[in-house]
Amino acid sequence: MKRPWLYYISPITILAGLSFILLIVGFVELVETEIYFFVFFSALVFGGATLVLTAIGYAVRFATNGKVLYIWIIEAAILAIPVIGYLMCRQGY
């Protein structure tokens, strides 16, 4: 059975891809400037974020049996929690 493209392109998958791109940028920065702390920090943060986001994406797909609508709703809710928390802390709640 062929899966729709929204199954593969989901909010967490997009963020994991962006995190992987930023990890590559960190390694390119090492070649150009040799600032080792920046590369270590980049690898630690963005490498970890890539792994965690990918694991969350697979867990959500497994838990929803591949239903695209449920995947998007759950992943959007997972990503909205830190954003809402940040906005509430910024407002002083």
Contacts of 11 (CB under 8 A, 6+ apart): 72, 75, 76, 79
Short-list 20, 8, 15, CA closest to 79: 15
Using 50, 70 and 90 to split pLDDT, how confident is the model at 93?
low
Q: Note the pLDDT tens digit of each residue in 24-73.
A: 887 787 777 777 777 778 788 888 999 999 999 999 999 999 899 999 99
What's residue 52's pLDDT? 93
Instruction: Give the predicted TM-score (pTM) of the model.
Output: 0.79
Domain positions in the chain: 10-91
pLDDT in tens, 4-16: 888 889 999 999 9
